[in-house]
Structures are given as C-alpha cells and as structure tokens.
C-alpha cells in the first residue's frame, strides 16, 4: 500500500511538472482561434485531468463518501470560489437560448462551458496538489521565445516536424507573422513569471536570460494590448518592491532592460527584410501598425453590443459563446454596418447591404460578393462574463479574484502578490482581447501551479537547522511523508 501511494505521488509530480510544457508547445502552430490543434489541446487537458484524479485517488485509498463534504469545506476560499464560478457557467449554459453552442462552443472556437469546466478541474488539481518542478515551465519560456523570434526573422524551425505530422487548412507556419493573439497573451505570463521565481535573487543570470528572451519575443508580436499590459504589470511590481523596502539600481535597470528587449523588434524586422531580399528566407515579417486605431474603434462598438446584451438578461446572461449569434441585434443598423465595414477595411463611402453578420456589395465587375465576419467575443473578458453569465458570473469571478489575492498575501506577503503578477498582466490584456483555448488553458495551469507553491511554502515545517532543539531539550526527528515532512519530538512518537 505504501509503495503504491509513493508511486502515485511521484507520478502526480511528474505529470504536474510536464503538463505546462506539453500543453504550451501546442501554442506554436496556431494561426487563428479556429486552429486545428484546439481539439488535441482539449484532449490533452481531459487525459491529464483524468490521470491526475486517478493518481490523487490512489493516494487516499481509505477515503469514504462521507468524507467528501468535510474535505471540500476545508479547501482554500479560492478553490471554493472557482467551484462557484463553474456552477454559474453550468446554470447560464443550461438556460441559454443557444444551449448547445454555449456548452460546446463553435466548431472553430471551442471555448464553451465544457472547456471552462475543464479549466476549473485542472485549476483545482494544481492548486490543491503537491508542488512540481519548475523545469517544464522554464523550458516552455525558452522554447516559445526562441521559436517566436526565429519565425519573426522568417525561418521555419518547426515546419519539417509539423507539416509531416499534421495537415492544416490554414497555412503553417505562423508563430508571429500570422496570428499574434495566442503568443502575445502567453508571453505576458512567461515574461513576468521570473519576477516571482527569482524574488530576492535578481543577480542570478538565469533570471535576466528568461526575462530578456521573453520580452524580445513579446515585442515581436507588436500587440499594443500586450505591451500596455506588461507595462502596467511592471509598474505594479516596482510599487510592490518599493513597499517591501527594496531599493537600488535594480529597480531602474529592470524596466529599462525590458523596454530595450521589446525594442529589438525594429532591428529584427530590418534583418528579416535583408534576409528576404537576399533570398535566405521566403517570409517577410508582418508587423502591426501600433498607431492604427481602427481596431480600437471596432472594439468600442463590440463592447457596446455586449453591454446591451447584458442589460437584456442581467441575472444569468445568455450563456458562453452566444455572442456571435446576437451581437448585431444589439446595435443600431448604422453601427452594425459600420462595425463590419471597418473590420473588412472598406472605405466609408462603400455601399453595402448587411444581413446579420454577412455583408453584400458589388465588385469592380458589377457582381454581387458576400463576406461573413463572425465575432465570437466582444474582445473584452469582463464583458464576456457579463453578457454570458450576468451578475451571477461576475459576482463569483470577483469572489475568486479577491480570494486569490488575499490567499497569496497571507501565504507569502509581497512575494505572494508578485506571484500573481503574471496573471494580473494577462487579465489587463484580456480587457482588449478574449479567452482562447491555448492561452487560457495554460494560464489556468500556471495559476494553480503558483498558488500551490505559495500554499506549500506557507504550510512547510520550520527548517531543520532552526529546530535543533525544542523546549525541554528534546531532539527533533524528521519524518518523510508523501506530501512533505513533519518534525516530532520523542514525546510525540
């Protein structure tokens, strides 16, 4: 029995440590949220969740059904809040006018209630489990960053493997030169994680390497929402460090290094153009014009539609993934027409006829052309929750966020708050973006990872060198257990 428990514990540590790397690798060959690898990602999460549940059960062979509720009541508040948020998703999806799509999501964008519930299960397994190795997550930072920069330069390091294994309807490769949203979101988290990992160890060369390479890769995405989110997160970090009494050149050096690293996008773009001119690469990097405000204008219109949807069903919302089927009914005809015209880049004087989310217009030869633009999200995660789950969803989400912040501070003080910064940065980014399978799945894994570390550090026994002697002169005996170690005196044996 003891051997089986030990084996299950070690196997769980291995799975928890490898899952961030295995899941994160799938982020690379993803051009759009409709990418073919979304379903392998979902399958990987399902298999990992089932495997971890089995391993967890093997470690508690004598547990009875009657023990379930008392054990659940002892869970940290953020786990209970996550379960409450999951319940709000179930209620909204079940009572949605578009229940099937709310549960499954669309074929091209499968971020429905089932995916959200799966994320909650994964979060619970990580947040309540043992602390795995960080090596998988650190390897992911290096892997994604190096491939992103290589793609931006025009090289295709993964093409022989990916194109031999998968058949894509969307052309690969695309890490940065195509769709940037997945990479920008995950690189915010990866660029900020070392601030927590190397807290009070900023002279470690590994810290600077991880921060620089992730910041360079993030700069290559030329995503304005991501740049703003990273800047705000770094500012919060500096305030936290100053509050804790940290002083010195480091506080000036860190933002300067991050800024210069992200600025490498300009010389890298020049190098790419030169390589393309000499025929060394066949792909010119595609950089977004950060001064272009057209996308922001579109977002304002999409936000207005989501707010109007919330007003019409304020308690339980419309259900996840209902936005694409209703947004055009909650804007005036003029604003809905304008939204699609801006999205498709038509001049303001272009004559169009819109039916729901389809535009009809005449081409240069006088023929009628139809184009469809489907919006699965209002490009704002807060409004996503409001229109989809109403007050019930936003209340449980706020409970979850507050519970995470309070628990992190209780576990480790300022260091605990710094541990949440990667996810604060991602949350800021989501105010102008939307949740996707690749990034949200990985964000949930890493958030549970960090909270588990903070909780374990809070519950860990006092180091043995500080326990050489206890009152009455009793020696301390360390005893190993599957979940750590405890120290007892001879009188307690």
- pLDDT of res. 108: 65
More confident residue, 409 or 159: 409
Residue after which a domain boundary falls, among 347, 372, 397: 372
Q: How far apart are CA 62 and CA 404, in angstroms?
A: 31
Confidence of residue 341 (pLDDT cuts 50, 70, 90): confident
- pLDDT of res. 466: 44
Residue after which a domain boundary falls, among 372, 394, 411: 372
Kindly state whether residue 285 falls inside one of the protein's structural domains. yes
pLDDT in tens, 444-460: 999 999 999 999 888 76
DSSP conformation class of 466: G
| Per-residue pLDDT at 173 exceeds 90 | no
Residues 44 and 103 in one domain: yes
More confident residue, 304 or 110: 304
Q: What's the burial of 43, exposed, middle or buried (CB within 10 Å: 0-12/13-18/19+)?
A: exposed
Q: What is the mean pLDDT of residues 63-83?
A: 74
Residues 199 and 310 in one domain: no
Confidence of residue 29 (pLDDT cuts 50, 70, 90): low
Number of domain units in the chain = 3
Kindly state whether residue 61 falls inside one of the protein's structural domains. no
Q: How far apart are CA 116 and CA 381, in angstroms?
A: 13
Residues 117 and 214 in one domain: yes
Residues 266 and 330 in one domain: no
| Per-residue pLDDT at 425 exceeds 70 | yes
Q: How far apart are CA 188 and CA 172, in angstroms?
A: 23
Kindly state whether residue 102 falls inside one of the protein's structural domains. yes
Residues 197 and 276 in one domain: yes
| Per-residue pLDDT at 224 exceeds 60 | yes
C-alpha distance from residue 130 to each of 127, 261, 448 (Å): 8, 35, 11
Q: What is the mean pLDDT of residues 352-359?
A: 71
Confidence of residue 348 (pLDDT cuts 50, 70, 90): low
| Per-residue pLDDT at 326 exceeds 70 | yes
Least confident segment among 109-113, 357-361, 486-490: 486-490
Residues 158 and 250 in one domain: yes
- pLDDT of res. 486: 38
| Per-residue pLDDT at 482 exceeds 60 | no
pTM: 0.84
Q: What is the mean pLDDT of residues 295-312?
A: 90
Residues 300 and 446 in one domain: no
Q: Which residues are CB-neighbours of 93 under 8 A, at least 6 positions away?
A: 99, 102, 103, 112, 113, 319, 320
Residues 454 and 470 in one domain: no
pLDDT in tens, 429-441: 999 888 877 788 8
Kindly state whether residue 335 falls inside one of the protein's structural domains. yes
| Per-residue pLDDT at 158 exceeds 80 | no
C-alpha distance from residue 19 to each of 14, 15, 26, 144 (Å): 9, 6, 11, 15
Residue after which a domain boundary falls, among 314, 347, 372: 372
SS3 252: helix
- pLDDT of res. 448: 94
Kindly state whether residue 241 falls inside one of the protein's structural domains. yes
Q: What is the mean pLDDT of residues 325-342?
A: 83
Residues 331 and 281 in one domain: no
Closest CA to 271 of 231, 216, 324: 216
Residues 321 and 280 in one domain: no
Least confident segment among 119-128, 204-213, 284-293, 297-306: 284-293
Residues 172 and 279 in one domain: yes
Report the percentage of the chain scoring pLDDT > 70. 77
Question: Which range marks the domain in which residue 329 is found?
Answer: 294-372
């Amino acid at each position: 029995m003891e051997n089986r428990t030990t084996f299950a514990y070690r196997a769980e540590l291995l799975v928890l440590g490898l899952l961030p790397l295995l899941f994160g690798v799938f982020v690379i060959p993803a051009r759009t949220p409709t990418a073919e690898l979304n379903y392998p990602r979902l399958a990987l999460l399902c298999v990992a969740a089932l495997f971890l549940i089995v391993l967890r059960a093997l470690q508690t062979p004598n547990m009875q059904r009657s023990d379930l509720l008392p054990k659940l009541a002892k869970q940290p508040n953020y786990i209970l809040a996550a379960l409450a948020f999951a319940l709000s998703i179930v209620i909204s999806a079940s009572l949605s006018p578009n229940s099937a799509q709310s549960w499954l999501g669309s074929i091209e964008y499968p971020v429905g209630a089932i995916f959200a519930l799966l994320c909650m299960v994964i979060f619970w397994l990580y947040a309540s489990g043992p602390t795995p190795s960080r090596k998988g997550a650190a390897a992911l930072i290096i892997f994604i960053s190096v491939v992103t920069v290589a793609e931006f330069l025009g090289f295709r390091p993964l093409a022989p493997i990916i194109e031999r294994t998968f058949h894509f309807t969307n052309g690969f490769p695309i890490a940065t030169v195509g769709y940037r949203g997945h990479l920008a979101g995950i690189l915010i988290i990866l660029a900020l994680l070392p601030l927590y990992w190397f807290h009070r160890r900023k002279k470690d060369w590994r810290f600077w390497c991880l921060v620089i390479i992730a910041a360079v890769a993030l700069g290559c995405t030329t995503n304005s929402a991501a740049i703003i989110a990273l800047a705000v997160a770094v500012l919060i970090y500096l305030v936290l460090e100053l509050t804790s009494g940290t002083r010195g050149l480091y506080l000036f050096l860190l933002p300067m290094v991050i800024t210069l690293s992200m600025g490498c996008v300009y010389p890298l773009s020049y190098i790419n153009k030169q390589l393309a001119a000499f025929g060394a690469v066949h792909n010119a990097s595609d950089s977004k014009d950060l001064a272009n405000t057209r996308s922001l204008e579109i977002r304002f219109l999409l936000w207005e539609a989501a707010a109007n949807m919330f007003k019409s069903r304020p308690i339980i919302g419309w259900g996840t993934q209902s936005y694409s089927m209703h947004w055009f009914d909650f804007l005036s005809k003029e604003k809905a027409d304008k939204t699609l015209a801006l999205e498709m880049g038509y001049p303001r004087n272009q004559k169009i006829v819109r039916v729901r989310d389809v535009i009809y217009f005449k081409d240069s030869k006088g023929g009628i052309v139809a184009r469809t633009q489907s919006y699965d999200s209002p490009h704002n995660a807060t409004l996503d929750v409001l229109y989809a789950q109403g007050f019930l969803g936003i209340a449980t989400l706020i409970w979850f966020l507050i519970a995470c912040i309070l628990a992190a501070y209780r576990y480790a003080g300022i260091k605990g708050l710094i541990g949440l910064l990667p996810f604060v940065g991602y949350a800021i980014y989501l105010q102008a973006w939307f949740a996707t399978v690749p990034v949200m799945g990985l964000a949930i894994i890493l958030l549970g990872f960090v909270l588990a570390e903070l909780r374990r550090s809070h519950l860990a026994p006092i180091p043995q060198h500080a326990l050489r002697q206890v009152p009455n002169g009793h020696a301390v005996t360390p005893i190993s257990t599957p979940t750590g170690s405890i120290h007892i005196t001879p009188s307690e044996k």
